[in-house]
Amino acid sequence: MLINADLHVHSCFSMASSKDMVIDNIAPQAKLKGLQLVGTGDAFHPGWLDIIENSTEYVGDGVYSTPDCDFVLTSEIEGEKKIHHLIFIPTIEIAKEIANRLVSSNKDKDGRPRTKMNGAEIMDLVKEYDCMIGPAHAFTPWTGMYKSFDSIYECYGKKPDFLELGLSADTDMADTIQELHDIPFLSNSDAHSPWPHRLGREFNQIELKDISFSSLKHSITHNKIKANYGLVANLGKYHMTACTKCYKLVDPLLAKDNKMKCPCGGRIKKGVDYRISEIATWDEPHHPPNRPPYIHLMPLAEIISSVYDKGVTTKTVQNKWKTLINSIGNEIDILINEPIEKIAKIDPQTAPAIEAFRDKSLKIIPGGGGQYGKISFDGRIEERETIKPEKKTTLDNF
C-alpha cells in the first residue's frame, strides 16, 4: 500500500505551538490534507502521552488509530550544541522508559526535551529500544546538525536511520554530499499548528506492507520511500544568508568577513544554500540509484493566498480552500493528481498557479534570515534587497 506520511509535528505542549495541536484537531485536518499516517511528536511528555492514550485506539505494532488517520509515536530532542534529533518510538511503554532515563531538566514542561547528551549518546539510548533516529532539519542554521558538524558521522559516530531535509533544503541540494548517498531522506512539516497550510506542508509517500511501526521501519531502511514532497527550497526561511532583523540578503563571504553582523544591528544567519556548498562533494547533485524524486509543492491555502493577495487565514482564502476541498477531495490530490481543467471549473484563478508548480514555471523571491520566500504568478513582487561586496569586503559602506 502507498501512503502519505508526515512524521514530524509538535503537540500543544511544545514551545511556540498552538493550543489546538491535540489529536482531535490533528486527525481530521490530516484527512482533509490527504495524510494517512502522522507522527505524534513530543512522545516523551507525560501529559501528551495521556492525551494520545485517551484520544486514540491502540491497534498494535506501534499504531495509535483514529477514524481519520493513524499515528506513530515520534519526538524531537534538543541535544548537545542545541542540535535537534528526530526519534520514532515503537510504543507508549517504551516512550515512558526512555523518558525516565533521559537526563533533561524540562522534559515534563516542554514537548521538546533538552539534554546535554550528544548525538551518539542519544542514539545509543534509543537504539536499546529499537527506535529510529536521525537529524531533524539537518541543515538549518539554528538547530540543524550540519551547523555544528561537517560530517554526520562526527555527530553520531555511525550511520543514522534517516536524515530530515528541512524546509530550506531538498534532495538536489543534499545529494551534493557524498556521505549521504546511503542514508534515506525524509521531508516532514515540523508543524506547530494543525491547519493544512502547516500540517503536511512537507510529507513522504511511502510503500508499506501495512500501517505499523515495523513496516514503517522496514520501508525507511529498505528504500521504500517513493517520493518526498515539499517546498521549493528557496521558499524556506533560512535558504539564503540574510539578516534576522532587516531581512536583507547578504553575500555569505561578506557576512563572514564582518563577523555575521549587519549594519542595521541585526545578526546575519548563514543560509542553508551556502552551508551545503561548504560541505558539498560536488557542485551538482549526484543522485544514487535508489533516491526517490523530490516533488515541489506548496500548501493550497498559501497558493490561494498568493493568487488573491489575501492573508492565508482570511475568510476569502479559507472559503476558497473549503470550496475546492468539498468539490474535489483532499488537498494533496488537488495539488498533485487532479486535472487542471477540473480545478479550473471550481477556481479559475487558482488553477494556473497550481499548474505553475507542476511545470516549474514559478518566479520565486528566496527566503532567508527567518523570513519565508515568496512566489509571484504575475511578476509584481519586488526582489529582496541584497548586500554585495564592492571593492572592499566590508559592510561599512552600506
What is residue 92's three-state secondary structure? helix
Same domain, 199 and 55: yes
Q: Is residue 153 part of a domain?
A: yes
206 and 305: one domain? no
Count the alpha carbons within 13 Å of 139 in the hemisphere toward its beta carbon.
Answer: 34
- Could you tell me whether strands 386-387 and 249-250 are parallel, antiparallel, or unpaired per DSSP bridges? parallel
**Residue 206 is placed in which grid cell?**
511511502
My answer on whether 189 and 311 are in the same domain is no
In a domain, 45, yes or no: yes
> Which residue, of 184, 214, 234, is where some domain finishes?
234
* DSSP summary character for residue 368: B
Tell me if 22 is assigned to some domain.
yes
Domain membership of residue 64 (yes or no) is yes
Q: Which of 142, 148, 194, 190 is nearest to 165 (CA)?
A: 190
Contact call for residues 116 and 106 (beta carbons, < 8 A) = no
The residue count for the chain:
398
> Residue 397: pLDDT above 50?
no
Give yes or no: residues 170 and 63 share one domain.
yes
Rounded CA-CA distance 338/323 in Å is 15
Residue 229 lies in a domain: yes
Q: Which of 234, 267, 285 is the last residue of a domain?
A: 234
pLDDT at position 380: 60
Same domain, 59 and 192: yes
Strand partners, 60: 63
* Residue 115 contacts residue 104 (beta carbons within 8 Å): yes
Residue pLDDT, tens place only, 29-78: 999 999 999 999 999 999 999 999 999 999 999 999 999 999 999 999 99
Q: pLDDT, tens digit, for every residue of 252-297?
A: 999 999 999 999 999 999 999 999 999 999 999 999 999 999 999 8
Q: Are residues 340 and 221 in the same domain?
A: no
Domain identity same for 116 and 37: yes
Per-residue CA distances from 282 to 155, 170, 293, 361 (Å):
22, 15, 19, 26
CA distances 381 to 147, 307, 364, 365, 386, Å, are 31, 12, 9, 8, 15
- C-alpha cell of 398? 552600506
The answer to whether residues 345 and 223 belong to one domain is no
Q: Are residues 331 and 204 in the same domain?
A: no
Q: How far apart are CA 330 and CA 260, in angstroms?
A: 44
**Domain-embedded: residue 245:** no
DSSP H helices in the chain: 23-33, 46-55, 92-101, 119-127, 152-156, 171-174, 213-221, 252-257, 272-279, 300-308, 315-328, 331-336, 340-346, 350-359
Q: Are residues 18 and 164 in the same domain?
A: yes
pLDDT beyond 80 at 377: no
At residue 21, the pLDDT reads 98
At residue 392, does pLDDT exceed 60? no
Q: Let me know whether 160 and 306 are in one domain.
A: no
Whether 167 and 316 share a structural domain: no
pLDDT tens column, 156-201 = 999 999 999 999 999 999 999 999 999 999 999 999 999 989 999 9
- Structural domain of 39: 2-234
3-state helix vs strand vs coil in the chain, percent to 5:
35, 20, 50
Q: Rounded to an integer, what distance in angstroms lies between the CA atom of residue 192 and that of residue 198?
A: 7
Q: CA-CA distances (angstroms) from residue 15 to 110, 111, 281, 351, 369? A: 6, 7, 36, 37, 20
Interstrand relation of 363-365 and 374-376 (parallel, antiparallel or unpaired): antiparallel
The CATH number of the domain holding residue 167 is: 3.20.20.140
Residue 275 lies in a domain: no
* pLDDT per position as a tens digit, 82-119: 999 999 999 999 999 999 999 898 989 999 999 999 99
pTM for this structure?
A: 0.94
Q: How many domains does the chain have?
A: 2
What share of the chain in percent tops pLDDT 70? 96
Any domain includes 263 = no
